Every structure is written in C-alpha cells, then in structure tokens.
C-alpha cells in the first residue's frame, strides 16, 4: 500500500488520533465533607479520564458508592448526589477505557466485601499479566463481576493466606506485573501505593490533619491542600482512621522508571511531576526542538491546546514570533465519524479553525505534542494550506511513537502507529508537510533535567519511543501463542 492509499484508508476520527491517558485517582481521609472534596479533586483530574467517574465513601460503619458514565460535573454537581456518600474517608476515580470496555460494571472504585471487611480500590495503570492471573483464579473458582484488570487484585487479596490485610495486599502485588498507582479503602483506613518502578504518578498532601492522595499536584492545589511529597516507587503508605501515617517498602529498592510521556502530554501543565514543573519541561522540549530542528519561518503556531507550551519554548529559542494561528472551540464533544469528505472537513473545523488573516502568505512552524496515526496532523496541515500558508513545517515535541503502551495508556496496536510504518521523510509526505522533525530522545531527556538518556538503565519508561519495556509482558506473549486459552480482560487505566 502506498502513501496515498494509506492516507485515503486512514480513519477520520480525530479523537482516535491521540494517546488516551490512563485514569486519575483521588483519596482523602479525615474530612467531614470527604466526598465533596473528592469530587472537586476529580474535577481537576478530568483530563486523565472523561468516560466515567466514581466515588466510594466510608462513615466508620458502612461503605457507600456512586458511579456514573460521563464527566464529574454531570454526576456529582448536586448536593443530593454527594449526600449519598457520607463519611470522613472517600476515594474516587476518573476513567478512560479501551474500546468495548465502557459500562458501569467497570467504573471504579471497585468494591468487595472480604473476610476482613469492605475493600474498595481505585487504580491508575495497567496489569500486564492480568489475563494470566485471571485464568488461574477462574480455574480455582473465582467469579468476576467486571472485565477490569483491577478486579484481579481484589481476588488476589481475597485468596491470600497471610494473616493481616496489609500482608495479603502485599502478597497480591508481588504476583502483579505492570504499572499501578492504587488507592485502597478498608474498615481500618486507607492504603496508597505505586508499583516498584513508579511508572504511574501519585502524590501526597494535607489539609491540616486531613491526608490526601492524588494522581497529580494540581488536584491538591484545587482542593486547597499543601503538597507533602510523592509516594515513592514501591512504597505503600498506610493511614489509619485516626490519621496516623506509616510507610512500608516491601519490594526493596529498584531504579525508578516513571512514564516520560506524563511530561509530554498526560499531566496538566500546572502540575509538578518528579520535582519539575510540567509547563517548564514542555517549554524546554520546545527549545530543544528549535536547537535540533530549526526552520526558516515567519510564525510559530501551536496545535491547541497540547502544543502551546512547546511552541512558546520553540519561539523563545528561535526568535520566531509565537502566534495563535489555530483557534480551538472548547464547546465541541467527541468528533463524529462521518463518511463524506465534506463532512470530514466540517468535523475538523468544529474543533479547530485557522486564523486566516494571520496565516495567509506566511511560512509557519506547527508545533504538536505527538503523532499517533497521523490523520489529525494531515488535516491540520491541509487547514493551514487552505488558509493561505505558503509553507508548513511540522515539529513534534516527542520522539516518534513507534511502539504500543501496555502500562495504562490506550495506544493503537503497533501496525496503526504511523512511525512504526514509515521513516520521518515518508511521514512528512503522508501529512503533506514541507518538513517534519521530532525532538530526539536525548533532547527529551535534557528537557526533564538529565544530561542524556542512560542507555544501560533509562531514567524513565520511554517504551513507546524505544520499545524497551521495563517489565515482563506476560499477557502479550500469551496472546501471541495460539495454544493459550484466554479470558477477556480489559486494559483499564
């Protein structure tokens, strides 16, 4: 298939041309209005998952849950909704699911009555051996109520033979591969933890004596909490109902590998991640792009909104003026999949429209965070040409995305990733740009404060760029073996 055929066959759903993040989690212990604060914290994390939301609370005697499809505001804006969630402890989850995984049964937090009492869990990440574990549990008689990989953890805790809940929880996590940040609620308090590599983020804060955990610092800011620290990779933080905090390190010391794409796209720009301002890192990536891949142009234009900080950095480093040459509507829902070319173009313009008076006759540099399938980039480049741009140069604030993610990011299969099919010159032809360049992987590492990528032991998980996965991928190997029997387990963040 040649480039023209690929372009014509490309899916024209612009929402399907971004890496879909994971999920967001929030937990609080020691506040009278715990559920209301949780809803506010989840609203700050809405960018991490927009398909469903859930909150579970505990009043010292009973657990209460409310879950719904859609945004936080649509489900928890009323006093009556929050009145259903009494208690001084609560945990919540915003969710983005993979195709076919939508539905209330998969909305978190998941809850189960164990022998030791109630157990609720909210999970950000992906268990890369969930199918393997589920197969074994089903053969032993386990009955699953969801297709979520998170439910595997509940069954492992329930079937562990260790005496205390904390020991059973640790025992369960020792069997798990992949990425997880977890917030768990029990009759005795809250447990927050990260996987030994710290792939997914989790931070800790306080309002007075009230303890809070969240996926990002922005959620702490929004609820008025002071940031204390990150939950360390491999750490379990246990908080009892009196607010006493204990730290456990059951997995030993392992070099951390946090997800580097959090800096590129996933986290909100006003968050602080691994000690670095996300906004500052994105500007630094743009500056690296200008150093590595300069362009003779009149204007630097971001693809809104994710390309804005990198475009500012590119403009400042290059001396080329920064302008908003594309205006985005913030009142548009999911792009419709439509059959005709005219309708396709209408869908593009529902979300983005060229600032024609600014762009006409200009040589422009377009800055975006990534290229996944390439269809959005193709449409945006064409939009600039239709608006009269004389040259369109595309610069990308990440290395080429050549590999799928198995750690909680909904990535297309590798055969649908443009960078896995083409070199950079062919990609430029595909999106019809005058030139195309990506920041180098060492340039990306310099932007996050490293001298360069440590090839022997990378400082971050960058598998989507390098193909070097930091954990085993048991389920992937078994799916590729036709002799293996598999059960459907959704990859849920």
Question: Do strands 435-438 and 391-396 pair parallel, antiparallel, or not at all (unpaired)?
Answer: parallel
Find the mean pLDDT for residues 362-371: 97
Q: What token pair was written down for 203?
A: 């931070």
| Beta carbons within 8 Å of 480's beta carbon, 6+ residues apart | none
- Which tens digit of pLDDT belongs to each residue from 251-300? 988 899 999 999 999 999 999 999 999 999 999 999 999 999 999 999 99
Q: Does 269 fall in a domain?
A: no
Edge-to-edge strands of the sheet including 435-438? 299-302, 363-368, 391-396, 435-438
- For the chain, the domain total comes to 2
- Average pLDDT value for the chain: 90
Find the mean pLDDT for residues 192-221: 98
Q: Are residues 242 and 373 in the same domain?
A: no
Nearest C-alpha neighbor of 247 from the set 173, 166, 154: 166
User: Could you tell me the CA-to-CA distances from 29 to 36, 43, 190, 208 in Å, in that order?
Assistant: 12, 18, 7, 11
Q: What token pair was written down for 402?
A: 């050549």
Q: Are residues 329 and 364 in the same domain?
A: yes
- Which tens digit of pLDDT belongs to each residue from 317-332? 999 999 999 998 877 6
Q: What token pair was written down for 38?
A: 């949780």
Q: Are residues 116 and 153 in the same domain?
A: yes
Phi and psi (nearest 5°) for 275? 80, 5
Question: Do strands 391-396 and 363-368 pair parallel, antiparallel, or not at all (unpaired)?
Answer: parallel
Contact present, 169 and 93 (Cβ < 8 Å): no
Alpha carbon distance 493, 475 (integer Å): 16
| Beta carbons within 8 Å of 68's beta carbon, 6+ residues apart | 52, 53, 54, 74, 75, 104, 107
pLDDT > 90 in the chain, percent: 82
Q: Are residues 297 and 216 in the same domain?
A: no
Q: Are residues 220 and 81 in the same domain?
A: yes
Q: What token pair was written down for 192?
A: 């927050």
Please provide the distance, in angstroms rounded to a whole number, between the alpha carbons at the two ends of the chain: 34
Q: Does 217 fall in a domain?
A: yes
464 is catalytic: no
Nearest C-alpha neighbor of 42 from the set 78, 4, 93: 93
Contact present, 63 and 118 (Cβ < 8 Å): yes
Q: Does 478 fall in a domain?
A: no
Per-residue pLDDT at 466 exceeds 50: yes
Q: Does 423 fall in a domain?
A: yes
Q: Are residues 214 and 335 in the same domain?
A: no
Q: Does 4 fall in a domain?
A: no
Per-residue pLDDT at 13 exceeds 70: no
Q: What token pair was written down for 398?
A: 């990440």
Q: Are residues 60 and 195 in the same domain?
A: yes
Q: From the candidates 23, 184, 193, 461, give the one annotated as an active-site residue.
A: 23
Q: What CATH number corresponds to the domain at position 83?
A: 3.60.20.10
Per-residue pLDDT at 336 exceeds 50: no
Confidence of residue 11 (pLDDT cuts 50, 70, 90): very low
Q: Does 480 fall in a domain?
A: no
Q: Are residues 253 and 375 in the same domain?
A: no
Tell me the residue range of the domain where 316 lies.
277-465
Alpha carbon distance 440, 285 (integer Å): 10
Q: What CATH number corresponds to the domain at position 440?
A: 3.40.50.2020
Identify any residues that bridge with 67 across adjacent strands, giving them in sequence order: 54
- Which tens digit of pLDDT belongs to each residue from 61-102? 999 999 999 999 999 988 899 999 999 999 999 998 643 356
Q: Are residues 329 and 416 in the same domain?
A: yes
Residues 168, 155, 245: CA angle, nearest 5 degrees: 40
What pLDDT score does 97 carry?
61
Q: Are residues 69 and 159 in the same domain?
A: yes
Per-residue pLDDT at 335 exceeds 90: no
pTM of the full predicted structure? 0.90
Q: Does 455 fall in a domain?
A: yes
What pLDDT score does 3 carry?
53
What pLDDT score does 346 carry?
53
Rounded to 10 degrees, the C-alpha dihedral 461/462/467/470 comes to -10
Q: Are residues 229 and 339 in the same domain?
A: no
Q: What token pair was written down for 42?
A: 């989840």
Find the mean pLDDT for residues 443-456: 96
Q: Does 475 fall in a domain?
A: no
Nearest C-alpha neighbor of 263 from the set 101, 461, 17: 461
Q: Are residues 189 and 318 in the same domain?
A: no
Alpha carbon distance 213, 228 (integer Å): 10
């Amino acid at each position: 298939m040649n480039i023209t055929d690929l372009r014509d066959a490309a899916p024209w759903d612009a929402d399907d041309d971004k890496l879909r993040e994971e999920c967001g989690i929030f937990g609080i212990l020691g506040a009278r209005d715990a559920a209301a604060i949780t809803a506010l914290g989840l609203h700050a994390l809405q960018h991490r998952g927009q398909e469903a939301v859930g909150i579970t609370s505990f009043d010292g005697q009973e657990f209460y849950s409310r879950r719904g499809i859609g945004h936080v505001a649509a489900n928890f804006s009323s006093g009556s909704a929050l009145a259903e969630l009494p208690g001084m402890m609560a945990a919540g989850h915003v969710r983005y699911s993979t195709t076919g995984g939508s539905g209330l049964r998969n909305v978190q937090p998941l809850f189960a009555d164990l022998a030791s009492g109630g157990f609720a869990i909210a999970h950000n990440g992906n268990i890369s051996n969930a199918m393997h574990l589920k197969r074994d549990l089903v053969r032993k008689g386990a009955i699953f109520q969801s297709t979520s990989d998170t439910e595997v953890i509940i069954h492992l805790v329930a079937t562990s033979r260790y005496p205390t809940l904390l020991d059973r929880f640790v025992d369960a996590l020792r069997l798990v591969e992949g990425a997880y940040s977890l917030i768990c609620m029990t009759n005795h308090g809250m447990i927050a933890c990260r996987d030994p590599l710290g792939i997914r983020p989790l931070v800790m804060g306080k309002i007075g004596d009230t303890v809070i955990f969240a996926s990002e610092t922005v959620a702490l800011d929004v609820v008025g909490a002071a940031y204390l620290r990150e939950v360390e990779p491999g750490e379990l933080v246990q908080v009892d109902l009196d607010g006493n905090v204990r730290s456990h390190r059951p997995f030993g010391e392992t070099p951390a590998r946090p997800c580097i794409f959090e800096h590129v796209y996933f986290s909100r720009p006003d968050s602080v991640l691994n000690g670095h301002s996300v906004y500052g890192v994105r500007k630094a990536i743009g500056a690296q792009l200008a150093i590595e891949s300069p362009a003779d142009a009149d204007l630097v234009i971001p693809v809104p909104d994710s390309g804005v900080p990198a475009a500012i950095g590119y403009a400042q480093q290059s001396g080329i003026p920064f302008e908003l040459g594309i205006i985005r509507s913030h009142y548009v829902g999911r792009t419709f999949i439509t059959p005709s070319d005219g309708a396709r173009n209408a869908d593009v313009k529902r979300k983005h429209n060229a600032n024609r008076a600014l762009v006409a006759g200009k040589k422009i540099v377009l800055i975006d965070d990534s290229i996944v399938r390439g269809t959005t980039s193709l449409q945006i480049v064409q939009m600039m040409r239709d608006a009269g741009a004389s040259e369109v140069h595309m610069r990308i604030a990440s290395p080429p995305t050549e590999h799928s993610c198995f750690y909680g990011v909904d990535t297309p299969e590798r055969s649908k990733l443009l960078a896995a099919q083409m070199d950079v010159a062919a990609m430029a032809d595909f999106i019809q740009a005058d030139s195309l360049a990506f920041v180098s992987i060492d340039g990306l590492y310099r932007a996050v404060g490293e001298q360069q990528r440590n090839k022997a032991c990378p400082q971050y998980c960058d598998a989507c760029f390098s193909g070097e996965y930091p954990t085993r991928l048991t389920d992937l190997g078994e799916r590729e073996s036709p002799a293996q029997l598999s059960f459907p387990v959704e990859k849920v963040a």
